[in-house]
Chain A
Amino acid sequence: MKQELSEHLSDKLAKESITGEILNLQPLTGGASKEIWKFEIKSKDSISKFILRRGSGIEGPLAIKTSDEALIQKNVRELGACVPEIVAVSSVDEPLGDAYVMKFVEGESIARKILRDDEYRAALTNLAFECGESIAKIHQADITDFSFLPKKTVMEQINELYKTYVSFDQPSPVFEYTYHWLQDQDFGDLNDTLVHGDFRLGNIIVSSEGLQSIIDWELAHIGNPLQDLGWICGNSWRFGKINKVVGGFGDLDDLLRGYNSISEYQVTENNVKAWQVFGTFRWGVICLIQASAHLTGAVNSVEKAAIGRRVSETELDIVDLLFSEGNNDI
């Protein structure tokens, strides 16, 4: 399979005038639903590193095409946003399948390493500000360029998530309660923007110099920009560092200062809790979706089976947000 992949890859890159021998093609630990391969190309006088990102055909209902992820990154890169350089895009009917190739970005994406290793300690102090700046640039993209992306209001997403949860026929008292609660919230009536949809540690590349790239665009859509700011503030993405509201590494104030330094629309701390509960509920339903791919037999994956038992993390976070008075998270 690897040999075949290497040949398809070589053919595809040749069309983009990238030629040379493909070396060290190896799978990386990536998201639960996409294949990620690292490889090198040896040409006459140099060796260049690349990443292949490829749809596996078992993406959840919320995910966009891998080739569309590439189109978004090409677009926002021109705006100066911090995203990888795409060198080839393959559609689902090509031999390589739904995929793209990007230049390798030096740095780390594994959240626990970024939070733990000394190498990144200095970078972490400014990371929340940098994340704010970068996501604000992404939100400035012209949404008329993205007619292929779904447009989703927060309430539409809440209803979509709830319907998805109900379809799995595993009734959760906490999710039922959450659904009622979310429907009563005010998420702000902002102009639609491009929304990354999964902006957090794990989907950004960080080096000792700071933020290098925002990756993993499979949940991108058009909607309320506050979603990206709220998502990274959920406890699901703090990786155990519960007291650092932004991604387990930063403070909300720094994230918003970074955002407001770029954005015309000035964001305040208003109703962060609603976005945290929404984001946590959304992650819970995504866990259900992932687990169902295993449970229905679509794929036999211990990783996907295990994620079914992470739904309880989101339930606990939600009851903590809703019922713990004097919660020190916000």
Chain B
Amino acid sequence: MIFDKPNTVELLDAVKHFLDTKIKDEVAPHLAFKLRIVENVLSIVIREIETGNDLSQEVISGLKKLVESETANIEELAHLIRDRKIDLENPELKNLLVQLSKNKIAVDNPRYSTYKKLIEST
């Protein structure tokens, strides 16, 4: 990258900090609720920048093994299931769907109750 510091995550962190410390207490209650959503959105973007690539690659490499194709992608898997061209009872398929869902939530909302439950049980 040719860009100077701060990097994207550092910039977003600064915006989050500003909203949290300078704006949060200044806005009306119905906007405070929306402000929390805005901060959550920034957190999603930060997590995706930091971990999104690894989380995606982990799922894609499992998928390539499952369907024995080097070019496989998530959309293709969805179509294989739609058309029942893959055995729906295959334990490896079920494991991959769990992995996919866990890796998505790890970016979208790692505090989600079911995610915490599944992390603690493994």
List the B side residues contacting A313 at CB < 8 Å: 105, 108-109, 112, 114
Q: Which B residues lie within 8 Å of A174 (CB)?
A: 97, 100-101
Verify if A315 is at the interface (C-beta below 8 Å from B). yes
A317 to B113, CA, bound (A): 9
The residue that B29 contacts in the complex, of A29, A318, A320, A323, with Cβ under 8 A, is: A29
Whether the pair A173, B78 counts as a contact (CB closer than 8 A) is: yes
Q: Are A171 and B97 in contact (CB under 8 A)?
A: no
User: Which of B78, B105, B114 is the most central at the interface, judged by chain A CB atoms within 10 Å of its CB?
Assistant: B114
Within 8 A of A (CB), among B76-94: 77-79, 81-82, 84, 88, 94
The residue in B41, B94, B96, B98 that gathers the most chain A C-beta atoms within 10 A of its C-beta is B98
Whether A171 touches B75, Cβ cut-off 8 Å, given contacts A303-B34, A312-B101, is yes
Question: Is A312 in contact with B104, judged by CB distance below 8 angstroms?
Answer: yes
Given contacts A176-B82, A302-B38, is CB(A316)–CB(B74) below 8 Å?
no
Task: Choose one: B30, B77, B117; the contact of A242 (CB below 8 Å).
Answer: B117
B88 to chain A, nearest CB (A): 6
**How far, in angstroms, from A46 to B70 measured CA to CA in the complex?**
74
The answer to whether A29 touches B101, judged by C-beta atoms less than 8 angstroms apart, is no
What is the minimal beta-carbon distance from B102 to any residue of chain A, in angstroms? Answer: 7
Contacts of A310 in B (CB 8 A): 108-109
CA distance A312 to B111 in the complex (A): 13
Measured CB to CB, the closest approach of chain B to A243, in angstroms, equals 9
Contacts of B102 in A (CB 8 A): 316
Residues of B within 8 A of A139 (CB): none
List B contacts of A317 (CB < 8 A): 114
| Contact, CB under 8 Å: A177 / B81 | yes
Size category of the A interface is 35 or more
User: How close is A51's CB to chain B, nearest CB, in angstroms?
Assistant: 14
Q: How far is the CA of A322 from the CA of B38 in the complex (A)?
A: 33
Known: A29-B29, A323-B98. A309 touches B88 (CB 8 A): no
Q: Taking CB as reference atom, which chain A residue is nearest B118?
A: A320
Q: Name the prevailing secondary structure of the B interface residues.
A: helix
Contact-size category for B? 35 or more
Q: Quick one: given A242-B113, A320-B114, are A176 and B81 in contact (CB under 8 Å)?
A: yes
Point out the residues of chain A lying under 8 angstroms from B88, CB to CB. 177, 180
**A235-B105 Cα distance, complex, nearest whole Å:** 15
* Chain B residue contacts of A240, Cβ below 8 A: 113
Q: A228-239 interface mask toward B, CB cutoff 8 Å, 1 = contact, 0 = none?
A: 000000010010
- Chain B residue numbers with a CB within 8 Å of A238 are 113
Instruction: Report if A62 contacts B (CB, 8 A).
Output: no
Is the beta-carbon distance between B98 and A319 smaller than 8 angstroms?
yes
A65 to B114, CA, bound (A): 34
Interface flags, B4-41, vs A, CB<8A=1, else 0: 00000000000000000000000001100110011011
Are A319 and B101 in touch, CB under 8 angstroms?
A: yes
Q: Which residues of A contact B44 (CB under 8 A)?
A: 306, 309
A177 touches B113 (CB 8 A): no
Q: 7 nearest interchain CB pairs?
A: A171-B78, A312-B104, A176-B81, A242-B113, A316-B101, A309-B108, A29-B33
Q: List 14 A-B contacts (CB under 8 A).
A: A173-B96, A177-B88, A180-B84, A180-B88, A235-B113, A306-B44, A309-B109, A312-B104, A313-B105, A313-B112, A315-B100, A316-B102, A318-B101, A320-B117
18 A-B pairs besides A174-B101, A177-B81 with CB distance below 8 A are A29-B29, A173-B100, A176-B78, A176-B82, A302-B34, A305-B41, A309-B41, A312-B101, A313-B105, A313-B112, A316-B112, A316-B114, A316-B115, A316-B118, A319-B98, A319-B101, A320-B117, A323-B94
